[in-house]
Amino acid sequence: MTSEATRLDPPAKPATEAEQRIIIRGGNPLHGTVRVGGAKNSVLKKMAAALLAADVSVLRNVPNLTDVHMMAEVIRHLGARVTLSGNEVVIDARQVNEVEAPYELVSQLRASFVVLGPLLARFGNAKVSLPGGCAIGERRIDLHERGLKMLGADVKIEHGYVHVQAERLIGNRIYLDRPSNGATENIMLAASIAEGQTIIENAAQDPEIVNLADFINAMGGRVSGAGTYQIVIDGVSQKDLHGATIDTIPDRLEAGTFIMAAMATGGEIVIEGVNPHHLYSVISKVTEIGAEVSIYAPDTLKVRSQGSSRATDITTVPYPGFPTDLQAPIMSILAAAEGTSIITETIYENRFMQVGELRRMGADISLKGNAAVVKGVPRLMGAEVKATDLRAAAALIIAGLGADGVTELTGLSHLDRGYEHLEEKFRSLGADIWRR
Ligand code: EPU
């Protein structure tokens, strides 16, 4: 095990909006093979889950992202020792003794709110800053609150903090009004060491939830049904939980980003290290609009595209439906497709921030409530654009790869939260893209 003195390596390129930009000369068809990393949205939750056991856990296939470094800061603040070497994170949660996660940390990384469940379950109380809204929506936590109350916790929101306290947590049947990922995770984590059985109805079914349940089970927990709408958690004693080692599932959103990029430029790429089962809705949609996607090997996809697509209508819905996180990337394809598409966003109130930037590139998109009417234009044109969130950043890179002329993207701190070496990976596929 590595010592506490070993700090996480800094992210490869600390991007600040003022200093760095990605420059893309569009039009090069993509060819070659690329490998996706581990899923950010899975790793962050497993880092919180490691706090459940007073022991050492190892997470494998971890991408080197600023969000992972920020989550390490959060759990280190709580007393965990965290080391990252290569793509492995070792978390020693034996000395965890702090139950307060402050605003300055949680406000930087919403995902860190998921420490609430493990802290409550292990220590009987916790105080975690409310994360607040963000560029894409209000992002409420009422379902987390209600779920923990139903396990017997006293939950108070005061001065921007959620205070939770419970002498004992007792299993219950909890229905979620919507299949929230974060609420499913916080409840699942707390219920793992509650007394008796908890059933979460209308749970999030995402692969990241399954990976989290697998990790809890590897630690000695008893979770079944993850990946379906009903998750059953039989609580175990905290003392019976131990550290575990687990692989992180592939990042389906990174894979989706490469699929869209190949469609924007045309060409033929092989994407390795994916789980095609996690991408059915995406493969189905992109096939409908003109891409050829084949499962080349159990963990490998081949994508072939002429670089031209047809319009379609898309509605973002919880997994296994079309993911909100690929809504902006596919909009970049539909903006230059033949015909008019309607994209309806049902997960977030404000996830069309990329639209103004795509318009700067010549896109013809109008917004009507939670729908975007996208009239395809023959070609997008390179322009100076700015990312406002992670997936908007990916969308603008995809648009730039397919556009005529040069695109300059700023706002790279958003990109670096969730994509590792994205421009290097695109360069290896033949794109003319660099950072300066
Ligand atoms: N919601 C409520 N009440 C709650 C919880 C959620 O109304 O108590 C609402 C939210 O406001 C939001 C919707 O339900 O409008 C979905 O929220 P969810 O809890 O499912 O999202 P999350 O756990 O906060 C994760 C991902 C997001 C991804 C969503 C939906 C992480 C770290 N984040 O967020 O990923 O968009 O699930 O799939 O896992 C990204 O990677 O770019 C990203 C934003």
Q: Sheet containing 22-25: give its strands across.
A: 384-386, 406-410, 22-25, 432-435
Place of tokens 């059985």: 197
Pick the CATH number of 40-247 from 3.40.366.30, 2.70.180.20, 3.65.10.10, 3.40.640.10: 3.65.10.10
Q: Which two tokens stand for residue 95?
A: 């000395």
Place of tokens 């759990």: 75
3 state SS of 239: helix
User: 23 C-alpha vs ligand 1 centroid, how far in Å?
Assistant: 31
User: What contacts 223, CB < 8 A, 6 or more positions away?
Assistant: 188, 192, 213, 216, 217, 231, 232, 233, 234
Ligand 1 near 181 CB (within 6 A)? yes
For residue 233, pLDDT beyond 70: yes
3 state SS of 225: coil
pLDDT tier at 17, thresholds 50, 70, 90: very low
Question: What DSSP character marks residue 324?
Answer: G
**pLDDT of 310:** 98
User: 182 C-alpha vs ligand 1 centroid, how far in Å?
Assistant: 6
Ligand 1 near 112 CB (within 6 A)? no
Domain definitions of the chain by residue range: 4-36+250-435, 40-247
Q: To 5 degrees, how large is the angle CA 347–CA 300–CA 39? A: 40
Per residue in 132-190, pLDDT tens?
667 788 889 999 999 999 999 999 999 999 999 999 999 999 999 999 999 999 999 99
User: What contacts 260, CB < 8 A, 6 or more positions away?
Assistant: 286, 326, 329, 330, 332, 333, 398
Average pLDDT, the chain: 94
pTM of the entire predicted model: 0.95
Q: Give backbone dihedrals phi and psi of 406, rounded to 5 degrees, phi first.
A: -105, 135
- What residue's CA is closest to ligand 1, atom 13? 347
**pLDDT of 212:** 98
Per residue in 52-109, pLDDT tens?
999 999 999 999 999 999 999 999 999 999 999 999 999 999 999 999 999 999 999 9
pLDDT tier at 118, thresholds 50, 70, 90: very high
Pick the CATH number of 4-36+250-435 from 1.25.40.10, 3.40.50.920, 3.30.70.590, 3.65.10.10: 3.65.10.10
Per residue in 352-378, pLDDT tens?
999 999 999 999 999 999 999 999 999
Q: How far apart are CA 415 and CA 410, in angstroms?
A: 10
User: What contacts 244, CB < 8 A, 6 or more positions away?
Assistant: 53, 57, 58, 215, 218, 219, 220
Look up 134 and say whether it is catalytic. yes
Ligand 1 near 34 CB (within 6 A)? no
